Every structure is written in C-alpha cells, then in structure tokens.
Chain A
Amino acid sequence: MTDTTRKAARPVSQAAPAGPAPPSAARRPRRWRGVTPWLFLIAPLALLIAFTYAPIVNMVAYSFTDWDGVSPELRYTGAENYTELFTRPELFEVFFVSGYYLAASVVQIGAALYFATVLSFNVRFRNFFKGVLFFPYLINGVAIGFVFLYFFQDGGTLDAILSLFGHDGDRSWLGTPTSANVSLAGVSVWRYLGLNFVLFLGAIQSIPGELYEAAELDGANRWQQFRHIIAPGIRPVLSLSVILSVSGSLSVFEIPYIMTGGATGTETFVIQTVKLAFQFNKTGLASAAAVVLLLIILAVTWVQRRLVPDDKVDLV
C-alpha cells in the first residue's frame, strides 16, 4: 500500500530541484547533492567493512596459512588446512553433534506450530500461556545453562521429579555422549521454542478472521482449517524458521559450552573452532574450519531460497 504511494511520489522528488526552488537550494553546487548520502553512510559502511567484510577476506586468506594468530611469521601452506580438516575424522565428527540439534528443531517447530495454532483461538488464560511459552527465549544463556546443569545433576531437579513417580536411582544425564547430547538438545528446544511460537502466532493472526468463519460455515473442522488456511498462510515464516534452525544447529555454542565445556562428546563445531583459534593458537586451521561452516550455511540458505522463493524481498 505505502509502496505505491511512494512510487507515485518519487518523480516529484527528482523533479523538484529543477523547478522554481528557493535561492539557497539553487545556489548549492550540484556536486554537494551527490556527497550528502555518503555523509550518512560513512559510519555504517566503515563498521560493515571493518567487522564483516574485512574479516571474511582475512579469514579466507588465513585458511591457507599455518598462522598461530600471534607471531609475525606465517607460511602459505596451500590447501593443507582443508586436507587436515577433511582427513582427520575427529575434526569433522563435531558435525554429527549438530544432528541432535537438527532433530530437536523438528520437535521444536512442530510444538511451536501446535501451540501457536491452539493459542490463536479462544483459550482461557491465553496471554498467560503465551507469556510462559515465550519467556525462556528472553532469558540469559548462562543463567539457562546453570538452571539446567542443576536440572540434570545427580539428585537434581529431574531425578527428584522422576523419584516422585517411583523412578528411583540417580542418573548422570550428562554422563554419556548420547544422553548428554539429547539433554542439551532438549535445553535448546526449551530455550528457542518461544521464538518460533511467537513468529507463527504473529503470522497466524495476520490471516483475516473471515476466512475461519467462512470455513466454519462450510463445516470445516479444526484440522481442515489448519491444513487449508493456516498452513499456506504462514509458509514464509515456516520456511524462515526452517532455515534459522538449520544454520542454528550448525552453529550451536552457548549451551554446551556453558554446561559441559564440550566434554563427553558434546563438542560442537563452533566450540571446536574457538578452542583451535584461542586455546591452541591454530588460527590457520580454525579459519579453514570457519570457512567450511560459512560455505555450508550459505549453501543451505541458497537451496532454501531456490526451493521456497521468498516473494517478500522488496528491499530495493
């Protein structure tokens, strides 16, 4: 709506300086007008280049060296880092950990979709439930880490709850790789469900209410309404959530780092990269790893864009 009015107004803006402009504007040199936008853009562009583009370029350059990040000496080693990355299985194994988080995001999106649908209809205490489901997303990651360290501890919250139901015995939930990763992925669902939920809720509420009324008159039940009205209506947000969960699952860091420090097979790609770069001073190898991760994420994004073209991209 606003877009059409804007386009209509645009030619006026370009024609204006040519018209009978006030003296001050007329006297202003033509050159000056070309400079003005750049005055606004100096700071943002400087920051963008310094903290996004320069690092990318440097990172690719480092990835072909054996630099330790400190010494002035660095040697070009060609593709050695990449060969090391792909031939030492323990370096690449961390990607399997992402599988747990990927599986968890399926659960997460499913649950978020369910709760968003349920709570967009008339339900008692709706705002309370909305708040409760969303709130974890706002909590500090370190605090969440501690809450769940206590939750999974021997004799902690979970064991105490299970003993109420007669399940005796303390279990070390973070003790074996599988149960540790499942537990951590569970924490990630607990933490991020709220974001998906709120996004879905917003999308569902932007669907005009008459559609449901019409469907109800036609005798459609809740499932049919979901299938034929809600699901198509929220497709853009749904595909955004899928892409966010894939790239999120590949770049998990906080929760496992805070809770286990990457022990018992919970090390993720980012934890490994951070350790390589900042503990073992292998900047070259860490950069190569980061380049691989970046390429994977860009590839996933690209595939997603091809599969589900986003018709809402109208930035220009």
Chain B
Amino acid sequence: MTRRAVARALVYLSLVLATLVVLLPLTVVFLTSLKTSGEMADDGGALTLPDDPLNFGNYVTAFQDGRMLSAFGNTAVILVVAIGGTVLIGSMTAYAIDRFRFRFRKLVLALFLVAALVPGVTTQVATFQIVNSLGMFDSLWAPIALYMGTDIVSIYIFLQFVRAIPVSLDESARIDGANAFTVYRKIIFPLLKPAIATVVIVKGINVYNDFYIPFLYMPSEDLGVISTSLFRFKGPFGAHWETISAGAILVIVPTLIVFLVLQRFIYNGFTRGATK
C-alpha cells in the first residue's frame, strides 16, 4: 500500500515539474511585458514582479510600432482564403477519387501519396523560382497558393470521411436527377462537417504559426504576417525585452483563447490529422 502511495506521489511530482517547465518561461515573459524600461534597466532579475501589474504601455508600443494591426489583417486574409481553398480542394479531390472509376485514377492517387513523403522545406529553393515566375513573389498570393497546393494531409482526412458516407445516398440522389456537382454540393459536402472542422483547426494553426513561407516569399514590410512582423522586432526593439515580450504575448494570446474554447476538437484534430 505504501509503495503505491509513493509511486503516486512521484507521478504527481513529475506532472507538477513538467507544468513548471512549460509555464515558467511563458510566465516570466508575461511578467517582463508588464515592466517599464526603467525597471528593466534596474536589473532586479527576471523573476521579479512588475511594479505596476496593469502597465500595458509595452503592448501599445508593440502593437503600433510593431505594425501588428496590419500583421493580424494579412494573417486573417491568408487564413480565410487558404483554408477555404484547402477545404474545397481537399473535399473535391476526395470525392473524385473515391466516387469515380476513371482512367489514371491509380496514378492520380499515387501522385498525392508520393507528394506526402516530400518535406516542403527541401524543395523550397526550386519552388521559389516557380512562384517567382508566376508573378506571385512578394504578394499574399504566394503563401495562399502554397498552403492550398501542398496540403496532402487534408486530402487524406477528407478521403477517410467520404468513404464513410454510404454510396446509396449518392445513388438515390442520382435517380432523382442530380448530377455529380449537385451530389457533391448537396450531399457529400454537408456530410463532411466533422472533417471540415478538423481541417480548419489543424490548417488554421499551421497557417497562423508558419514562419518559413511568409519569410521567404513576402519580404515587404507591408505584407508582414504575425510571424514575420514579430520576427522584425529583433531589429528596432533590439534589447528592449519588455516590448519584445509584449509582442510575443500578443501573438500567443489568440492561440490560447482558441485552445481553451476548442480544446476537445483540437486534440481530435491533431490525432486525426497527424496519423493519416
């Protein structure tokens, strides 16, 4: 009995320790974001509390001088268009592959399958030239097209779900005179809601957090998304850790809210998205 109790205590100890490891760096940055530059210069150490816990001055600086408003705007545009496109493209591909028997079907499937094995980072040197020659370099179209065009995972998620929809539903609609597009729009697409939720969540988090693609393809300052705008803090705010911290917290807070609200869906989304 006592051995069990000791084991239990150790388990809790490990969990508390892990919680500290996760939360401490974030908490310290949050505290730093509330300090004034004077307090930072005094060097009271990273763990001291800010004098005024309601000092949001750094947030104002970060938001305005860091051009976070336009960054959130650009990110929102990319998010909406790229996710909308991914959902449409993924579900259409899945519908076509699962419901039709046509020539080269196996080849098409193989093309998608093999593409899943190629990590995006490796081909970026050559992708860059293509994006450039299409005239999309340094515009919002570059990340939008890339996010839509390389998302194999969502196609798989949709494929799993389309399969689960009984073909007899399509058939009865066909008998009523519906064509392939009507079947897709009126039957398949509405029944894919859970898959769409999964794709929107997984894709949304990826797009919101991506640094590599906007960094490479949108060097203009006007086109900063939240990752690249935050990255630019390194220059002007150099050693102003209170401003940099405020910027980092500004970027993290939306994620935290979405996570707290959609927790269960997010877990499901990732288990589904990553294993397939």
Name A residues whose Cβ lies closer than 8 Å to a Cβ of B.
Answer: 2-3, 5-6, 9-10, 12-14, 16, 21-22, 24-25, 34, 36-41, 43-45, 47-48, 50-56, 58-59, 62, 69, 111, 114-115, 118-119, 123-124, 127, 129-143, 146-148, 150-151, 153, 155-157, 159-161, 163-164, 190, 195, 198-199, 201-203, 222, 236-237, 240, 244, 247, 251, 253-254, 258, 270, 273-274, 277-278, 283, 286-287, 290, 293-294, 297-298, 301, 315-316
Pick the residue among B32, B92, B150, B163 that contacts A40 (CB under 8 A).
Answer: B92
The interface-forming segment of B14-22, B52-60, B191-199 is B14-22
A132 contacts B216, C-beta separation under 8 Å: no
Given A118-B14, A253-B121, does the pair A136, B24 have CB atoms closer than 8 Å?
no
Q: B101: which A residues are within 8 A, CB to CB?
A: 14
B89 contacts A115, C-beta separation under 8 Å: no
Nearest residue, chain B, Cβ from A17: B174
The dominant DSSP class at the A interface is helix
Q: Does B64 contact A (CB under 8 A)?
A: no
The dominant DSSP class at the B interface is helix
Given A135-B259, A155-B46, does the pair A199, B274 have CB atoms closer than 8 Å?
yes
Q: A203: which B residues are within 8 A, CB to CB?
A: 271
Could you tell me the distance between the alpha carbons of A174 and B174 in the complex, rounded to whole angstroms?
65
B171 contacts A58, C-beta separation under 8 Å: no
Interface contacts beyond A40-B184, A115-B14: sample of 8 additional A-B pairs, CB < 8 Å, sorted by A? A37-B105, A48-B111, A51-B130, A52-B149, A58-B130, A118-B11, A151-B25, A202-B267
Interface centre among A38, A52, A58, A132 (most CB of B within 10 A): A52
Q: A5: which B residues are within 8 A, CB to CB?
A: 166
Could you tell me the distance between the alpha carbons of A74 and B153 in the complex, rounded to whole angstroms?
36
Given A202-B271, A298-B117, does the pair A161, B127 have CB atoms closer than 8 Å?
no
B274 contacts A146, C-beta separation under 8 Å: no
Cβ distance A59 to chain B, nearest Cβ, rounded Å: 4
Given A199-B275, A247-B119, does the pair A6, B227 have CB atoms closer than 8 Å?
no
Q: Which of B164-191 contact A (CB under 8 A)?
A: 164, 166-168, 170-171, 174-175, 177, 180, 184
A51 contacts B46, C-beta separation under 8 Å: no
Q: B63: which A residues are within 8 A, CB to CB?
A: none
Given A43-B92, A298-B117, does the pair A51, B125 have CB atoms closer than 8 Å?
no
Name B residues whose Cβ lies closer than 8 Å to a Cβ of A.
Answer: 7, 11-12, 14-15, 18-19, 21-26, 28-29, 32, 43, 45-47, 89-90, 92-93, 95-97, 99-103, 105-106, 108-109, 111-113, 115, 117-119, 121-131, 134, 145-146, 148-150, 155-156, 159, 163-164, 166-168, 170-171, 174-175, 177, 180, 184, 205, 208-209, 211-212, 216, 226-228, 230-231, 233, 241, 244-245, 247-249, 251-252, 255-256, 259-260, 263, 266-267, 270-271, 274-275
Number of A-B contacts (CB under 8 A): 286
Cβ distance B210 to chain A, nearest Cβ, rounded Å: 8
B211 contacts A258, C-beta separation under 8 Å: yes
B121 contacts A53, C-beta separation under 8 Å: no
Cβ distance B239 to chain A, nearest Cβ, rounded Å: 10
Cβ distance A247 to chain B, nearest Cβ, rounded Å: 6
B123 contacts A37, C-beta separation under 8 Å: no
B180 contacts A150, C-beta separation under 8 Å: no
Interface centre among A12, A16, A155, A157 (most CB of B within 10 A): A157
Could you tell me the distance between the alpha carbons of A39 and B184 in the complex, rounded to whole angstroms?
12
